[in-house]
Amino acid sequence: MFVNRREILQLLAIATSAPLFGQRANAAEKPLRVLILGGTGFIGPHTIEALRRSGHRITLFNNDKESAGKFPDLESLFGDRDGKIEALGGREWDVVIDNSGYVPRLVKLTADALKDRVGHYIYISSISAYADLSKPGIDEDHPLATLKDPSVEKVTNETYGGLKAACENVVRAAYGSRYTVIRPSYIVGPGDPTDRFTYWPVRVSQGGEMLAPGKSGDPVQFIDVRDLAGFIAACAEHRYAGNFNLCIPPRSVSMGQLLDSSRKISKAGTKFVWVDEKFIEAQNFQGNEIPIWSPTQGEDAGAALITSARAVAKGLKFRPLDVTVSDTLAWHATRPPERREKLRAGLTMEQERALLEKWRQSKKSAA
C-alpha cells in the first residue's frame, strides 16, 4: 500500500512463468493450493474471499492463533517469520501470497525456504517503493528507492520505501521469472484499519461546514481492496509475472468527486470550504490529518498520478466510486462505537474549526 512520508509511524502504531510442478492447471480445471503469509488483517480476508469464489485450497501461516480463528474452515499453520518457520517444511503449494513482508531478511527466510516447493510467489509491495514520487506518470520501470544502510530493519518514514524495494529484490532473486510484485496506492474500502479514505465519507455524512483541501479538481488515487484482491487472485490463477502498479487510472477521480459522492450517498447537506494548498502545506502536519489528498507540487506531487495501465491490460477492473463510498459507510456503521467515534485519520471537529478560522484570518490579513 501507499504510505506517504507523514504517515508511516502512525500506521505502525496501529500487505506468466513456467510452473514448478509440471503443467499449470487452469483455475477452472483444478483448484490451486495457495499459501498466504498472513491473511487475517485487511487485505487477506478479501483475498481469501476472491480465491474461495474459484474453489482454491487455502492455507494460512500466522503467529496469532486468535486471528487465524477468523477462518476456522481453513488450514492454519503457526510460527514466526523471524526464524520459526518449521511449520512450512515438507509441503508444496502452487502459489504463495506474501502480504506481510516488510523486512528483507525475513522475506528472504520464507522466500528461500519455499522456492523449491512453490510454483509462483506474489509479493504485495507499495508505490512507496519508488525512489521519487514528485513527477506524474510513474510506471513500473521507474527507479526504486534504496536504503542508506542496507542492514537497517526498523521501519520509519525514511526507511519504509527502501525496505519494500529491498524485499522486492529478494523475491526476484529467489524466484527468477516465477514472481509477481504488486505495488498498490492507498488501499481503501470495507475493513480499512487506517481510516485514511473512510474519514472523508464519514466526515461528509456529519454535515455542517467542512474543510476541503486544495481545489475540487485535484486528483486522488487509490484502489478498492476488493479490486486489489481480485487482481491478486487473477495473478495466482494466470501466473502474471513481473511488476504491477495497482490504483485507479490517473485523473479518473478528483477530490471534489470523492466529496460529492460522499454527500450524495450520505444525503448530508455538507458545505465544502476549499482551503488553498499553500495554507495546508504551511501547517506542517505530522500524521494523517489530511489523508489521501496530495499537494500538486513537491515530493509527493506524482503520488496521485501513477499509471496502472500494465495491470489494466491484464484485466484489472475498478468498481464505481459510489460503490466504494457506499460500502465503506455501511461497513463503518457496523464498527464498535469507539472506532466509529474516533478515527485514526483526518481532522477532529475542533481542529477543523480552528483551521478554518485561521485560514479566514489569513485571508483577511492578506486583503
pLDDT(168) > 80: yes
Average pLDDT over residues 78-93: 95
Percentages helix, strand, coil for the chain (3-state, rounded to 5) are 35, 15, 50
Evaluate whether 150 touches 167 at the Cβ level (below 8 Å). no
Distance CA 266, CA 256 (A): 15
Q: pLDDT for 258-293, tens place per residue?
A: 999 999 999 999 999 999 999 999 998 988 999 999
- CA 68, CA 281: separation in Å to the nearest integer? 42
**What's the domain range around 16?**
8-191+221-246
Q: What is the pLDDT of residue 211?
A: 98
Residue 313 located in a structural domain: no
> Which tens digits make up the pLDDT trace of 199-234?
999 999 999 999 999 999 999 999 999 999 999 999
**Residue 149 shares a structural domain with residue 214:** no
Let me know whether 150 and 266 are in one domain: no
Model confidence pLDDT, tens digit, residues 8-40: 444 444 332 323 222 333 444 689 999 999 888
Interhelix angle for 160-175 vs 104-114, to 10°?
20
Do 95 and 211 reside in the same domain of the chain? Answer: no
Cα–Cα distance, 85 to 82 (Å, whole number): 8
Does residue 312 lie in a domain region?
no
Same domain, 114 and 146: yes
Same domain, 182 and 267: no
pLDDT at residue 321 greater than cutoff 50: yes
pLDDT of amino acid 1:
53
- Measured CA to CA in angstroms, residue 349 lies from 203, 206, 263, 346, 358 at distances of 9, 10, 17, 9, 14
The Cα–Cα gap between 119 and 19 comes to: 5
Looking at the structure, tell me whether residues 184 and 75 fall in a common domain.
yes
Instruction: Name residue 94's amino acid.
Output: D
Regarding whether 215 and 151 lie in a shared domain, the answer is no
Q: 77: which strand partners? A: 61
Residue 243 reports pLDDT greater than 80: yes
Say whether both 356 and 242 belong to one domain. Answer: no
**What gap in Å lies between CA 51 and CA 58, rounded to an integer?**
8
Q: What is the model's pLDDT at position 68?
A: 72
Assigned C-alpha cell, 261: 459522492
Residue 315 belongs to a domain: no
Is the same domain home to 229 and 354? no
Percent of the chain with pLDDT over 90: 85
What's the pLDDT score for residue 2?
A: 58
Structure confidence at residue 64 as a pLDDT band (50, 70, 90): confident
Task: Let me know if residue 63 belongs to a domain.
Answer: yes
| 104 in any annotated domain | yes
Give the count of domains, the chain. Answer: 2
CATH at residue 26: 3.40.50.720
Task: Locate 102 and state its grid cell.
Answer: 516488510
143 & 92 share domain: yes
Same domain, 138 and 155: yes
Q: What is the pLDDT of residues 98-135, one digit of tens each?
A: 999 999 999 999 999 999 999 999 999 999 999 999 99
Q: What average pLDDT does the segment 324-349 reach?
A: 97
CATH number at 268 reads 3.90.25
Place of cell 509462483: 120
Binned at pLDDT 50, 70 and 90, residue 69 comes out as: confident
| Distance (Å) of CA 70 to CA 4, 38, 333 | 30, 12, 20
Closest CA to 221 of 193, 183, 191, 271: 183
CA dist 314 and 233 (Å) reads 12
In a domain, 44, yes or no: yes
Q: Do 51 and 143 share a domain, yes or no?
A: yes
Predicted local confidence at residue 287, as pLDDT: 82
Comparison of pLDDT for 295 and 8, the residue scoring more: 295
Angstrom distance (rounded) from CA 267 to CA 248: 25
How high is the pLDDT of residue 188?
98
Q: Indicate whether 311 belongs to any domain.
A: no
How far, CA to CA in Å, does 25 sit from each of 34, 35, 361?
13, 16, 66
What's the pTM? 0.91
Is 309 a domain residue?
Answer: no
Residues 32 and 55: their CA atoms lie apart, in Å, by 8
* Residues 277, 216 contacting (CB under 8 angstroms): no
pLDDT at 63: 87
